Structure 1
Amino acid sequence: MEKKLRILCLHGFRGSGEILKKLILRWPESVTGKLDLVYLDAPFPAQGKSALEGYFDPPYFEWFQSNKDFTEFYKFEECLEYIEDFMLKHGPFDGVLGFSQGAVLGAAIPGMQREGVALTKVPEIKFVILISGAKFGGPSFGVPKLAANAFSSPINCPSLHFLGQTDYQKKDGEILLECFVDPQVIHHSKGHTIPKLDDSSLAVMLGFIEKNSTTLRQDTSVLTV
């Protein structure tokens, strides 16, 4: 039986793992059936009103907190320790999928691991899937101390980026593309959301999964020789 890619899924700002799961499961079985998706609630209860109220039931959570200008960050180190502890108990994980705040965080993980400043007790993430992401240090976000050098050099980690035509964070997502070596992109007509997959985006997604599954099989066979 072929091993599924095990992916840690990080929800958006003032969302939850359960909400993200409902949205991801709108994708066809041809995608979700190839993945072992694990949904984690962020460590901190929402500190204000969630944009999801009225659409999805509470509770809602935040990965980290900041001032209104996103220039100062709070509880970022605690967030990373929380994720690392979960990965130690429930991993190993092959990749990370993130939406919105979860994608901002997920995008920085490979660089922070490379720099040896976070998630050092777990294996390096092999790929990232970033939906409505942004870069720490880009036009909209400052940089938490631990992520200061996350993008100091191109991140040589396979990445798949979702860019929405009407997403208010689209420019940030385009800038994030420049941080990765050979990023793959799914363009969609929606805004700041997790889109359903049309034929074109489905083909890109399946190709990305197959490529990383092949790499995982090759790495495993090398280890077992």
Structure 2
Amino acid sequence: MAPTRILALCGFTQNATIYSKQLGAVRKTAKNAEFIFLEPPIVVQKADMPWNQGSLDQFASNATTEEDAQTPETTPRAWWLSSGDTASKKVFRRFDESVKYIHDFMVANGPFDGIMGFSQGACMAAVVAALLEKPGLHPDWPASPALPKLKFLIAVGGFLPAAAEPSFEGYFPLPANLPVLHVLGKNDVVVNAERSQSLIDGSLNSRVELHDGGHFTPSKASWRHFFNAYITAVANGEDQNDVPPVNSFGPSGANTPATGSGTPRSSTPAPAELTRA
């Protein structure tokens, strides 16, 4: 049986190598899935970071903005860079570049059965899913050649795009025929529950699973086996809600110490760094 091909999009300041390592345990368990990690085209400079900070730990990234210390494996990358301090004024710089880049990659290397993204990559994955459903929404995502629609989307620590430029009018909600799995950290203070709820509400066929940690992809045994079961089921056209919950595969906590606090639909304001994610 041919493997389930999944396009994997890393988060802000990560890169394909970092994301591949973070999903290493999941990849080993999901033996019938092939993850294709796409390197974002934009290199993040120190000036692009919130407050020009050097530490990228909060973004679950071990990259560095110190150019003298960078290697291809530690260079921070992004799908877009943000300008502006509020949602109404925010501009996604170089976003069009990434749209064309991903489209051309999928034309040359597809088809893909599903897409999985973390943080900014989850947001970008949702945009890609929308463009596959409605090609032509973006001038750099033409309707021809037609690309196959996705069978599923997995968004970890994701959020709905919100910007004054470009406009995402008409992109969402994602249709009911696309199952979307939202994986959220109960203690995620980088992309909080309120912001993740925007993507949940922007998907007509949503399923939410929570882990006890923060801003990262859970990978303990119960989660590895859940991801494997989920991918196998939805790739075969089964209802995503028929897949047993994470806790049926064992304890579903976190692999790393939890930080901060938060619950679904939290009213806690998003921290300032989210304006850059």
TM-score calculated relative to the size of structure 2: 0.68
* CA drift at 1:186: 2.1
* CA drift at 1:154: 4.5
* CA drift at 1:13: 0.4
**1:197 equivalenced with 2:204 (yes/no):** no
Gaps of 5+ in 2: 47-53, 64-72, 239-277
Equivalent pair of 1:163/1:174 in contact (CA under 8 Å): no
Give 1:88's aligned residue: 107
Say if 1:180 and 1:68 are closer, same or farther in 2 by CA, change over 3 A. same
Read off the aligned partner of 1:51 and give its amino acid letter.
Answer: L
**1:55 equivalenced with 2:62 (yes/no):** yes
Find the residue that maps to 1:145 and give its secondary structure.
coil
Q: Greater Rg, structure 1 or structure 2?
A: 2
Say if 1:176 and 1:104 are closer, same or farther in 2 by CA, change over 3 A. same
Equivalent pair of 1:15/1:50 in contact (CA under 8 Å): no
- Taking the aligned partners of 1:54 and 1:171, their CA distance within structure 2 comes to 23
- Taking the aligned partners of 1:78 and 1:181, their CA distance within structure 2 comes to 28
Say if 1:45 and 1:55 are closer, same or farther in 2 by CA, change over 3 A. closer
Gaps of 5+ in 1: 217-225
Say if 1:152 and 1:22 are closer, same or farther in 2 by CA, change over 3 A. closer
Equivalent residues in 2 for 1:11-22 (5 A)? 11-22=10-21
Q: Which moved more, 1:67-76 or 1:163-172?
A: 67-76
- Taking the aligned partners of 2:111 and 2:174, their CA distance within structure 1 comes to 26
1:35-83, Cα deviation, whole Å (9 max, x unpaired): 1101111011112246159935511211111214351111111111001
Q: Which moved more, 1:34-43 or 1:207-216?
A: 207-216
Moved over 4 A (4+): 152-155
Of 98, 101, 110, the residue aligned with 2:129 is 110
Higher relative contact order (CA closer than 8 Å, sequence separation 6+): 2
- Taking the aligned partners of 2:163 and 2:77, their CA distance within structure 1 comes to 21
Equivalent residues in 2 for 1:9-158 (5 A)? 9-27=8-26, 29-31=28-30, 33-48=31-46, 49=54, 51-52=56-57, 55-56=62-63, 58-69=74-85, 71-116=90-135, 117-118=137-138, 119=141, 120=143, 121=145, 122-136=147-161, 141-142=162-163, 144-145=165-166, 147-152=168-173, 154=175, 156-158=177-179
Say if 1:145 and 1:112 are closer, same or farther in 2 by CA, change over 3 A. farther
Give 2:231's aligned residue: 209
* CA drift at 1:193: 0.9
1:144-202, Cα deviation, whole Å (9 max, x unpaired): 43632211564531111111001121221123112222322221011111111342x44
Say if 1:128 and 1:74 are closer, same or farther in 2 by CA, change over 3 A. same
RMSD, aligned α-carbons: 2.4
TM-score calculated relative to the size of structure 1: 0.82
- Taking the aligned partners of 1:167 and 1:205, their CA distance within structure 2 comes to 20
Aligned length: 209
Equivalent pair of 2:180/2:207 in contact (CA under 8 Å): yes
Give 1:222's aligned residue: none
Give 1:163's aligned residue: 184
- Taking the aligned partners of 2:6 and 2:55, their CA distance within structure 1 comes to 25
